[in-house]
Protein backbone atom coordinates (compact mmCIF):
# COMPACT_ATOMS: atom_id res chain seq x y z
CA UNK A 1 0.00 0.00 0.00
CA UNK A 2 1.01 3.60 -0.58
CA UNK A 3 0.26 5.93 2.34
CA UNK A 4 0.41 9.72 2.27
CA UNK A 5 -0.21 12.69 4.54
CA UNK A 6 -2.03 15.61 2.95
CA UNK A 7 -3.03 19.12 3.99
CA UNK A 8 -1.37 22.26 5.31
CA UNK A 9 1.85 22.00 7.30
CA UNK A 10 1.17 20.85 10.83
CA UNK A 11 -2.41 19.82 10.04
CA UNK A 12 -1.88 16.89 7.66
CA UNK A 13 -4.44 14.10 7.38
CA UNK A 14 -3.65 10.45 6.62
CA UNK A 15 -4.48 9.07 3.20
CA UNK A 16 -3.62 6.37 0.74
CA UNK A 17 -3.15 6.13 -3.00
CA UNK A 18 -5.58 3.69 -4.61
CA UNK A 19 -4.91 1.43 -7.59
CA UNK A 20 -5.93 4.15 -10.02
CA UNK A 21 -3.56 6.67 -8.46
CA UNK A 22 -6.30 8.65 -6.70
CA UNK A 23 -5.91 10.04 -3.19
CA UNK A 24 -8.27 8.63 -0.56
CA UNK A 25 -8.91 10.00 2.94
CA UNK A 26 -7.91 7.50 5.62
CA UNK A 27 -8.62 9.69 8.66
CA UNK A 28 -11.73 7.74 9.68
CA UNK A 29 -9.56 4.62 10.03
CA UNK A 30 -6.27 5.89 11.53
CA UNK A 31 -5.23 9.12 13.21
CA UNK A 32 -1.96 9.50 11.28
CA UNK A 33 0.77 7.71 9.35
CA UNK A 34 3.09 7.21 12.30
CA UNK A 35 4.71 4.64 14.59
CA UNK A 36 1.31 3.31 15.71
CA UNK A 37 0.65 2.18 12.13
CA UNK A 38 3.84 0.26 11.55
CA UNK A 39 3.37 -2.95 13.50
CA UNK A 40 2.56 -5.99 11.37
CA UNK A 41 -0.92 -6.56 12.77
CA UNK A 42 -2.03 -2.97 12.15
CA UNK A 43 -0.68 -2.99 8.61
CA UNK A 44 -2.43 -6.31 7.98
CA UNK A 45 -5.75 -4.75 9.01
CA UNK A 46 -5.21 -1.85 6.65
CA UNK A 47 -4.55 -4.23 3.78
CA UNK A 48 -8.10 -5.52 4.25
CA UNK A 49 -9.57 -2.09 3.45
CA UNK A 50 -11.26 -1.57 0.10
CA UNK A 51 -9.81 1.80 -1.00
CA UNK A 52 -12.84 2.47 -3.21
CA UNK A 53 -14.96 2.75 -0.05
CA UNK A 54 -12.82 5.57 1.34
CA UNK A 55 -13.67 9.23 0.62
CA UNK A 56 -12.05 10.55 -2.54
CA UNK A 57 -9.91 13.65 -1.96
CA UNK A 58 -10.66 16.22 -4.63
CA UNK A 59 -8.14 18.62 -6.14
CA UNK A 60 -4.41 18.60 -5.52
CA UNK A 61 -3.76 19.23 -1.83
CA UNK A 62 -0.27 19.71 -0.48
CA UNK A 63 1.46 16.45 0.44
CA UNK A 64 3.31 16.59 3.75
CA UNK A 65 6.12 14.35 4.99
CA UNK A 66 4.92 10.79 4.38
CA UNK A 67 5.66 9.70 7.96
CA UNK A 68 4.71 11.67 11.08
CA UNK A 69 6.62 11.80 14.34
CA UNK A 70 9.97 10.64 12.98
CA UNK A 71 12.40 10.60 15.90
CA UNK A 72 15.57 10.38 13.86
CA UNK A 73 16.91 9.98 10.37
CA UNK A 74 20.09 7.90 10.35
CA UNK A 75 22.07 8.69 7.21
CA UNK A 76 24.82 6.68 5.54
CA UNK A 77 27.71 8.47 3.87
CA UNK A 78 29.62 7.38 0.76
CA UNK A 79 27.52 4.23 0.36
CA UNK A 80 27.93 4.01 -3.43
CA UNK A 81 31.38 3.41 -4.89
CA UNK A 82 30.86 5.93 -7.70
CA UNK A 83 29.85 8.65 -5.23
CA UNK A 84 32.92 7.95 -3.08
CA UNK A 85 35.06 8.28 -6.20
CA UNK A 86 33.55 11.61 -7.26
CA UNK A 87 33.94 12.86 -3.67
CA UNK A 88 37.63 11.88 -3.85
CA UNK A 89 37.21 9.80 -0.70
CA UNK A 90 37.98 6.11 -0.11
CA UNK A 91 35.18 3.55 -0.23
CA UNK A 92 34.29 2.93 3.43
CA UNK A 93 35.21 -0.39 5.01
CA UNK A 94 32.24 -0.01 7.35
CA UNK A 95 29.24 2.34 7.16
CA UNK A 96 29.75 6.06 7.85
CA UNK A 97 26.83 7.31 9.94
CA UNK A 98 25.43 10.74 10.73
CA UNK A 99 22.04 12.02 11.87
CA UNK A 100 19.53 14.51 10.55
CA UNK A 101 17.26 16.14 13.14
CA UNK A 102 13.49 15.87 12.86
CA UNK A 103 13.41 19.66 12.31
CA UNK A 104 15.03 19.12 8.89
CA UNK A 105 12.04 17.11 7.62
CA UNK A 106 9.62 18.67 5.15
CA UNK A 107 7.12 17.59 2.52
CA UNK A 108 8.20 16.23 -0.87
CA UNK A 109 7.03 19.34 -2.74
CA UNK A 110 7.87 21.98 -0.14
CA UNK A 111 10.47 24.64 -0.88
CA UNK A 112 14.10 23.89 0.03
CA UNK A 113 15.80 26.72 1.88
CA UNK A 114 19.30 27.87 0.93
CA UNK A 115 20.83 28.69 4.35
CA UNK A 116 22.24 32.11 5.11
CA UNK A 117 25.84 32.29 4.00
CA UNK A 118 25.58 29.14 1.90
CA UNK A 119 27.58 28.85 -1.30
CA UNK A 120 27.55 25.05 -1.66
CA UNK A 121 24.05 23.65 -1.11
CA UNK A 122 23.86 20.27 -2.85
CA UNK A 123 21.38 17.48 -3.67
CA UNK A 124 21.32 13.73 -2.97
CA UNK A 125 18.55 11.31 -3.96
CA UNK A 126 18.39 8.40 -1.50
CA UNK A 127 16.33 5.34 -0.62
CA UNK A 128 14.73 5.76 2.80
CA UNK A 129 14.03 2.63 4.89
CA UNK A 130 11.20 3.10 7.40
CA UNK A 131 11.63 0.99 10.53
CA UNK A 132 8.57 -0.90 11.78
CA UNK A 133 9.79 -2.57 14.99
CA UNK A 134 12.19 -1.67 17.78
CA UNK A 135 15.57 -2.94 16.61
CA UNK A 136 18.57 -3.50 18.88
CA UNK A 137 21.44 -5.88 18.10
CA UNK A 138 19.67 -7.25 15.04
CA UNK A 139 21.36 -9.79 12.76
CA UNK A 140 21.44 -9.40 8.98
CA UNK A 141 19.34 -12.55 8.68
CA UNK A 142 16.61 -10.94 10.80
CA UNK A 143 16.93 -7.40 9.49
CA UNK A 144 14.08 -7.35 6.96
CA UNK A 145 11.64 -8.33 9.72
CA UNK A 146 12.17 -4.82 11.12
CA UNK A 147 11.31 -2.96 7.91
CA UNK A 148 7.86 -1.38 7.56
CA UNK A 149 8.45 0.11 4.13
CA UNK A 150 10.30 2.66 2.04
CA UNK A 151 10.24 6.25 0.82
CA UNK A 152 12.25 8.75 -1.23
CA UNK A 153 14.61 11.05 0.68
CA UNK A 154 16.44 14.09 -0.65
CA UNK A 155 19.50 14.38 1.60
CA UNK A 156 20.07 18.08 0.94
CA UNK A 157 23.57 19.08 2.07
CA UNK A 158 25.61 22.27 2.49
CA UNK A 159 29.10 21.11 1.55
CA UNK A 160 31.07 23.99 3.04
CA UNK A 161 29.27 23.61 6.36
CA UNK A 162 29.74 19.83 6.14
CA UNK A 163 33.40 19.60 5.11
CA UNK A 164 35.06 22.96 5.76
CA UNK A 165 33.69 24.05 9.13
CA UNK A 166 35.34 21.32 11.25
CA UNK A 167 33.59 18.76 13.42
CA UNK A 168 30.80 16.45 12.37
CA UNK A 169 29.00 16.31 9.00
CA UNK A 170 25.74 17.21 10.77
CA UNK A 171 26.48 20.94 10.37
CA UNK A 172 25.90 20.62 6.64
CA UNK A 173 23.00 18.20 6.88
CA UNK A 174 20.70 19.63 9.53
CA UNK A 175 19.16 22.82 8.16
CA UNK A 176 15.37 23.16 8.01
CA UNK A 177 13.96 21.58 4.79
CA UNK A 178 17.12 19.50 4.25
CA UNK A 179 15.15 16.22 4.44
CA UNK A 180 12.14 16.14 2.11
CA UNK A 181 10.52 12.70 2.54
CA UNK A 182 7.79 11.13 0.40
CA UNK A 183 5.60 11.51 -1.53
CA UNK A 184 4.50 8.08 -0.28
CA UNK A 185 5.34 5.64 2.47
CA UNK A 186 5.24 2.35 0.54
CA UNK A 187 4.84 -0.89 2.51
CA UNK A 188 7.60 -3.41 1.99
CA UNK A 189 5.31 -5.97 0.32
CA UNK A 190 5.23 -3.67 -2.73
CA UNK A 191 9.04 -3.57 -2.96
CA UNK A 192 10.22 -7.21 -3.08
CA UNK A 193 13.85 -6.28 -3.70
CA UNK A 194 15.10 -2.95 -2.28
CA UNK A 195 18.49 -3.69 -3.85
CA UNK A 196 17.17 -3.31 -7.38
CA UNK A 197 15.60 0.15 -7.55
CA UNK A 198 16.51 2.81 -10.09
CA UNK A 199 16.86 6.30 -8.61
CA UNK A 200 17.41 9.63 -10.34
CA UNK A 201 17.58 13.40 -9.81
CA UNK A 202 17.28 16.41 -12.13
CA UNK A 203 18.08 20.07 -11.52
CA UNK A 204 16.41 22.57 -13.85
CA UNK A 205 15.55 19.72 -16.22
CA UNK A 206 19.10 18.32 -16.45
CA UNK A 207 19.66 14.74 -15.29
CA UNK A 208 22.56 14.68 -12.81
CA UNK A 209 21.96 11.44 -10.92
CA UNK A 210 20.96 8.09 -12.42
CA UNK A 211 21.81 5.07 -10.31
CA UNK A 212 20.53 1.85 -8.85
CA UNK A 213 20.41 0.60 -5.27
CA UNK A 214 22.14 -2.58 -6.48
CA UNK A 215 25.35 -0.54 -6.33
CA UNK A 216 25.24 0.20 -2.60
CA UNK A 217 28.41 -0.68 -0.73
CA UNK A 218 26.29 -1.84 2.22
CA UNK A 219 22.76 -3.06 1.49
CA UNK A 220 19.62 -2.55 3.54
CA UNK A 221 20.04 -5.71 5.63
CA UNK A 222 23.65 -4.90 6.47
CA UNK A 223 22.80 -1.32 7.39
CA UNK A 224 19.99 -2.26 9.77
CA UNK A 225 22.18 -4.82 11.51
CA UNK A 226 25.14 -2.45 11.73
CA UNK A 227 23.23 0.59 12.97
CA UNK A 228 21.34 -1.44 15.58
CA UNK A 229 24.67 -2.21 17.25
CA UNK A 230 25.21 1.49 17.97
CA UNK A 231 21.70 2.82 18.64
CA UNK A 232 18.18 1.48 19.03
CA UNK A 233 16.04 1.96 15.94
CA UNK A 234 12.45 2.82 16.84
CA UNK A 235 9.26 2.44 14.76
CA UNK A 236 9.04 5.36 12.38
CA UNK A 237 12.79 6.00 12.28
CA UNK A 238 14.22 6.33 8.77
CA UNK A 239 17.55 5.10 7.45
CA UNK A 240 18.67 7.21 4.49
CA UNK A 241 20.90 4.77 2.67
CA UNK A 242 23.26 6.96 0.64
CA UNK A 243 23.36 8.46 -2.83
CA UNK A 244 24.86 7.48 -6.20
CA UNK A 245 27.22 9.66 -8.24
CA UNK A 246 26.06 12.90 -9.78
CA UNK A 247 25.90 15.31 -6.85
CA UNK A 248 26.79 18.95 -7.42
CA UNK A 249 30.11 18.63 -5.58
CA UNK A 250 31.18 15.99 -8.11
CA UNK A 251 30.59 18.09 -11.23
CA UNK A 252 33.43 19.71 -13.21
CA UNK A 253 33.36 22.49 -12.18
CA UNK A 254 31.21 21.89 -9.08
CA UNK A 255 27.60 23.09 -9.36
CA UNK A 256 25.48 24.08 -6.38
CA UNK A 257 21.88 25.06 -5.81
CA UNK A 258 20.73 28.67 -5.85
CA UNK A 259 17.37 30.38 -5.27
CA UNK A 260 14.94 29.62 -8.08
CA UNK A 261 16.47 26.26 -9.00
CA UNK A 262 14.02 23.38 -9.49
CA UNK A 263 14.86 19.89 -8.22
CA UNK A 264 13.02 16.75 -9.31
CA UNK A 265 13.89 13.29 -8.06
CA UNK A 266 12.40 9.84 -7.74
CA UNK A 267 12.82 6.12 -7.17
CA UNK A 268 11.03 3.37 -9.08
CA UNK A 269 7.93 2.29 -7.18
CA UNK A 270 8.29 5.03 -4.55
CA UNK A 271 7.15 8.10 -6.46
CA UNK A 272 8.67 11.46 -7.29
CA UNK A 273 9.48 14.69 -5.44
CA UNK A 274 9.88 18.26 -6.70
CA UNK A 275 11.26 21.25 -4.84
CA UNK A 276 11.99 24.91 -5.56
CA UNK A 277 15.01 26.44 -3.86
CA UNK A 278 14.44 29.68 -1.96
CA UNK A 279 16.86 32.08 -0.28
CA UNK A 280 16.69 33.31 3.30
At 119-147, the pLDDT tens digits run 999 999 999 999 999 999 999 999 999 99
pLDDT at 44: 83
- Tens of pLDDT along 168-188? 889 999 999 999 999 999 999
CATH of the domain spanning 73-279: 3.90.850.10
Using 50, 70 and 90 to split pLDDT, how confident is the model at 85? confident
Q: How confident is the model at residue 38 (pLDDT cuts 50, 70, 90)?
A: confident
Domain boundaries, the chain: 2-53, 73-279
Burial of 61 (0-12, 13-18, 19+ CB in 10 A): middle
Q: Is the pLDDT of residue 83 over 90?
A: no
Amino acid sequence: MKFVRFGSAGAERPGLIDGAGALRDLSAIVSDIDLHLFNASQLAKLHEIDPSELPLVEGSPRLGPCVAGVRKIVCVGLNYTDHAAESKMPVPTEPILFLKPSSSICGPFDDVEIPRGSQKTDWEVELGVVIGRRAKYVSEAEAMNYVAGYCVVNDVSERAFQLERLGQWDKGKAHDTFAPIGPWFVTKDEIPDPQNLALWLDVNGHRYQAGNTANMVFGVEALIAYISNFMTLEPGDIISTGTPAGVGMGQTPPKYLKPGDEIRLGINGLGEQAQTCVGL
